[in-house]
Chains A and B, each alone.
Chain A
């Protein structure tokens, strides 16, 4: 959408811009209509400039990115859903208060209907997955899906998302969430040690980024178009991508931070007020860059000074395995896997991230690598990249 809204950064004429968009729409439909569906291409489209462009396309592509079958949606919830649900009261309180998430000017009646649906989706996912725990902010994510794809499909997508990307946030405690927040400062340190040191001396902590992370920025961005653009990106990527994006925002505001008084309150206050006119497309590609340069495994190793098994090569192995899941037939699947394994060896050799922070990867290399990393969705972010015991919190 921002492709439409914003003047192109390179100063291309509007008609050229529109034709660029048309071309992208065509490419997306081509990927959707190919047999089997070209999920890797869809992933690239979701990441690259403008993301998935329209909600109509999102309805079709988001399920593919999450590997959700649209012809097998969970049944509508029964009346008993709201009884005996320990989270019901909290969900109710949060959803009733979440007026700002709905388009301004929407009639109250319509909004209230959607709020009821929102409650149902949340409760149904929780009911079907007793291992998941509700957190304040989860409703900010769910509402985005509800508004884009409608109640039934949203339930299926959110369920998948909750058992994968959001899994760590939904533990009984927030310890794993805290671990993920612990990635923030090491990423900043890699790119801008001065900024990192300043923030450390201010003892700002990382809670300013908590709502960014656990709502995928849905809680803090006023313009819904920006929210869905980011969701395109995050859905196509590794579950830790939101923390890279958080780091990129902080890095982008370097000067403001350094001009700030070096204390917790001032820096927390500055950073938690997120500017609404961020250059999203630039920041998205920067976040992708950082992910490739400093993958989670690398960061974990750097920060904790501990060896980890995972390397870029194993990322590609994950890519291959996950891609294979989308194949309809086991024999084909095996063949595909074998073929990829050869490709993987070459690729991983060529694109293995180097520690030099000045290394810049070509855009194409980036999207390929991102698509790969993105598919490496195992059970949760933290299983993929081991925890490290960096004590940012006292």
Chain B
């Protein structure tokens, strides 16, 4: 457990596992991660894969914002990872989704490797995210999904990598569907969780104005297509 003072300073401090008539809940920190990107890129499948450990049989269009969570243990600390899965259609993000940017600890941008348009939308997603997140320095990652559909790939890795470097966002290419890539979806979110854990100031809902600690993206994000 972290020092009590640290925990108290975090507005995200929460009691988990509380239920009607349940035992006194155990304390655990919460990492809130928002997952955004165009319609049909696989945001729901990625979050479902991570939280439920499998590819969902049938997914539908997400309307508004869905929520999934999973408890993990990192370096002996129990942490809840909350994934906020958002609707892809533009009209939703313009007026509905902004509520969910509040107190977010990390952002996952998703595009569909078999759909170049979803890749071309990324700059507007990144820009929008910047507008919502006044804190600025929160970790962001870029995920190219559906890498199992090799013959249909429209977004080559080098193109995506160049884009990622320009924006200093680590890139991952994965597949929520292919069971062989199961560990990789897991690894992506766990990497993010580790990163969040090692940067305690990020736990503050209101980032300190003065001695702001800048989180530098990892100098050379190791990018691998784990297909």
Q: Which segment, of A13-21, A173-181, A239-247, faces chain B?
A: A173-181
**Cβ–Cβ contact A135 & B91, under 8 A:** yes
**Cβ–Cβ contact B87 & A261, under 8 A:** no
Whole-angstrom distance between the alpha carbons of A97 and B43 in the complex? 14
**Cβ–Cβ contact A219 & B60, under 8 A:** yes
**Residue from the list B67, B91, B92, B98 in contact with A265, Cβ < 8 A:** B67
User: How far, in Å, is B32 (CB) from chain A's closest CB?
Assistant: 7
Interface residues of A in 283-301 (CB under 8 A from B): none
Q: Which residues of A contact B16 (CB under 8 A)?
A: 261
Determine if A114 is an interface residue (Cβ-Cβ < 8 Å). Answer: no
Q: Which segment, of A33-41, A183-191, A209-217, faces chain B?
A: A209-217
Whole-angstrom distance between the alpha carbons of A263 and B62 in the complex? 22
- Mask, B71-106, CB within 8 Å of A = 1, is 000000000001000011101101110111010000
Q: Which residues of A contact B14 (CB under 8 A)?
A: 261, 263
User: How far, in Å, is A73 (CB) from chain B's closest CB?
Assistant: 28
**Cβ–Cβ contact A100 & B60, under 8 A:** yes
**Cβ–Cβ contact A174 & B69, under 8 A:** no
With A97-B60, A174-B94, A219-B60 as known contacts, state yes or no: A259 contacts B20, CB within 8 Å: yes
**Residue from the list B32, B60, B94, B95 in contact with A98, Cβ < 8 A:** B60
**Cβ–Cβ contact B61 & A136, under 8 A:** yes
* Cβ-closest chain B residue relative to A270: B67
Q: Which residues of B contact A214 (CB under 8 A)?
A: 63
Determine if A205 is an interface residue (Cβ-Cβ < 8 Å). Answer: yes
**Residue from the list A98, A133, A207, A394 in contact with B91, Cβ < 8 A:** A133
Q: Which residues of A contact B32 (CB under 8 A)?
A: 265
- Listed in ascending order, the chain A residues whose CB lies under 8 Å from chain B are 90, 93-94, 97-100, 133, 135-137, 139, 172-175, 177-178, 205, 207-208, 210-211, 214-215, 219, 255-256, 259-261, 263, 265, 268-269, 272, 393-394
Determine if B226 is an interface residue (Cβ-Cβ < 8 Å). Answer: no
Whole-angstrom distance between the alpha carbons of A214 and B61 in the complex? 13
Closest 9 CB pairs of A and B: A211-B63, A210-B64, A259-B20, A174-B95, A136-B61, A137-B63, A94-B61, A207-B64, A93-B40
* Cβ-closest chain A residue relative to B86: A207
Q: Which residues of B contact A137 (CB under 8 A)?
A: 61, 63
**Cβ–Cβ contact B96 & A178, under 8 A:** yes
Determine if B66 is an interface residue (Cβ-Cβ < 8 Å). Answer: yes
**Cβ–Cβ contact A205 & B61, under 8 A:** no
**Residue from the list A133, A178, A210, A393 in contact with B63, Cβ < 8 A:** A210
Q: Which residues of B contact A100 (CB under 8 A)?
A: 58, 60
Whole-angstrom distance between the alpha carbons of A217 and B26 in the complex? 36
* Cβ-closest chain A residue relative to B89: A136
Whole-angstrom distance between the alpha carbons of A299 and B99 in the complex? 24
Q: Which residues of B contact A133 (CB under 8 A)?
A: 91
**Cβ–Cβ contact B61 & A93, under 8 A:** yes
Q: Which residues of B contact A219 (CB under 8 A)?
A: 60, 63
Whole-angstrom distance between the alpha carbons of A177 and B95 in the complex? 9
* Cβ-closest chain B residue relative to A219: B63
* Cβ-closest chain A residue relative to B19: A259
**Residue from the list B58, B67, B95 in contact with A268, Cβ < 8 A:** B67
Q: Which residues of A contact B30 (CB under 8 A)?
A: 265
With A205-B99, A219-B60 as known contacts, state yes or no: A135 contacts B89, CB within 8 Å: yes
Whole-angstrom distance between the alpha carbons of A93 and B88 in the complex? 11
Interface residues of B in 16-56 (CB under 8 A from A): 16, 18-20, 30, 32, 39-40
A and B contact pairs by CB, cutoff 8 A, 6 listed: A90-B39, A97-B59, A207-B64, A208-B64, A269-B69, A272-B67
Determine if B65 is an interface residue (Cβ-Cβ < 8 Å). Answer: yes
User: How far, in Å, is A100 (CB) from chain B's closest CB?
Assistant: 6
Q: Which residues of A contact B99 (CB under 8 A)?
A: 205, 207, 393-394
Q: Which residues of B contact A256 (CB under 8 A)?
A: 20
**Residue from the list A255, A261, A394 in contact with B18, Cβ < 8 A:** A261
Q: Which residues of B contact A261 (CB under 8 A)?
A: 14-16, 18
Q: Which residues of B contact A178 (CB under 8 A)?
A: 95-96
Q: Which residues of B contact A94 (CB under 8 A)?
A: 39, 60-61
**Residue from the list A90, A99, A211, A255 in contact with B64, Cβ < 8 A:** A211
* Cβ-closest chain B residue relative to A204: B99
Q: Which residues of A contact B60 (CB under 8 A)?
A: 94, 97-100, 219
Whole-angstrom distance between the alpha carbons of A207 and B99 in the complex? 9
* Cβ-closest chain A residue relative to B16: A261
Q: Which residues of A contact B82 (CB under 8 A)?
A: 265
**Cβ–Cβ contact B100 & A207, under 8 A:** yes
Whole-angstrom distance between the alpha carbons of A248 and B46 in the complex? 33
**Cβ–Cβ contact A173 & B95, under 8 A:** yes
**Cβ–Cβ contact B15 & A173, under 8 A:** no
Whole-angstrom distance between the alpha carbons of A90 and B20 in the complex? 42
**Cβ–Cβ contact B92 & A136, under 8 A:** yes
* Cβ-closest chain A residue relative to B59: A97
Whole-angstrom distance between the alpha carbons of A94 and B18 in the complex? 36
Whole-angstrom distance between the alpha carbons of A255 and B19 in the complex? 12
* Cβ-closest chain B residue relative to A261: B18
User: How far, in Å, is A215 (CB) from chain B's closest CB?
Assistant: 7
* Cβ-closest chain A residue relative to B17: A261
Interface residues of B in 150-191 (CB under 8 A from A): none
Q: Which residues of A contact B88 (CB under 8 A)?
A: 136
Whole-angstrom distance between the alpha carbons of A274 and B39 in the complex? 24
Q: Which residues of A contact B58 (CB under 8 A)?
A: 97, 99-100
